[in-house]
Structure 1
Amino acid sequence: MAWVFDQAPNVACIADRSVMNGKPVLTVAHYEEDHSWAFLDGSLFDPADAFVVAMSEVIDRHADLAEVADLPPGWSATRIAKGQPWSRLKDE
């Protein structure tokens, strides 16, 4: 699969511990300030459970995230379960 994100595979992103352990990504944030990304499980975010990892580490585990690779900076996407459609929202 070709790399489709606006950041290189080795660029750092934020991911929940549970996402790195295989739980589905249900919330994605693409930050406007620095164009960085966060991949979260959709539950209440606890910074103590956050990892800074290369984007490729998350995408390798969750190839379905290619569906949100075109998410513009300053936007977030959520879904209720893996395989469900993403809802996109411009961040306030």
Structure 2
Amino acid sequence: MSVRTWDDPLDIAVTTVAEVASGKNPVLVVIRDEGVGGGLGGWQMYDGLNLSGRSPVCVAKPDLIALDPTLSEITDLPVGWEAHRTAPGQPWQRLQSNA
């Protein structure tokens, strides 16, 4: 299990959707995947809605923290893990990914 810091310079962006990037929808699902750098880890943050028909966008991690400071609670999420919550302000539930 690899743990990298949130501010790691090799991992500067989050994959999300426009509704999250603009602040219209909150982040309810966070996925820390293997990423593209030999398992260094990549971040995906979504609103929990169906992704069908929506294109991914990349956003700098500090920009998402500025939109939702509670995301700082999951910046230590290890590679291969997910975090979910039912609504903003609700506690994050962490679990190891099946993917």
Report the TM-score when normalising by structure 1.
0.82
Please, what is the CA RMSD of the aligned residues?
Answer: 2.1
How far apart, CA to CA, are the structure 1 residues paired with 2:53 and 2:60? 17
In the alignment, structure 2 segments of 5+ residues that lack a partner are none
Encode CA deviations 1:18-53: one digit per residue, 9 max, x unaligned. Answer: 111211100001113340101110112236332112
Aligned to 1:87: 93
Check conservation: 1:15, 1:58, Cα contact below 8 A: no
Q: How many residues align?
A: 89
Instruction: Write out the 4+ residue segments of structure 1 that deviate beyond 4 Å after TM superposition.
Output: none
Aligned to 1:16: 17
Aligned to 1:78: 84
How far apart, CA to CA, are the structure 1 residues paired with 2:83 and 2:89? 14
Secondary structure, aligned partner of 2:64: helix
- Please identify which structure carries the higher helix content: 1
Structure exhibiting the larger radius of gyration computed from Cα positions: 2
Aligned to 1:50: 56
Residue 38 of structure 1, aligned match among 44, 53, 59? 44
- The residue type equivalent to 2:20 in the other structure is V
In the alignment, structure 1 segments of 5+ residues that lack a partner are none
Identity %: 35
Encode CA deviations 1:30-83: one digit per residue, 9 max, x unaligned. Answer: 113340101110112236332112212212211110011111110000000000
Flag the 1:53–1:47 CA change in 2: closer, same or farther, 3 A: farther
- The residue type equivalent to 2:79 in the other structure is P
Aligned to 1:25: 27
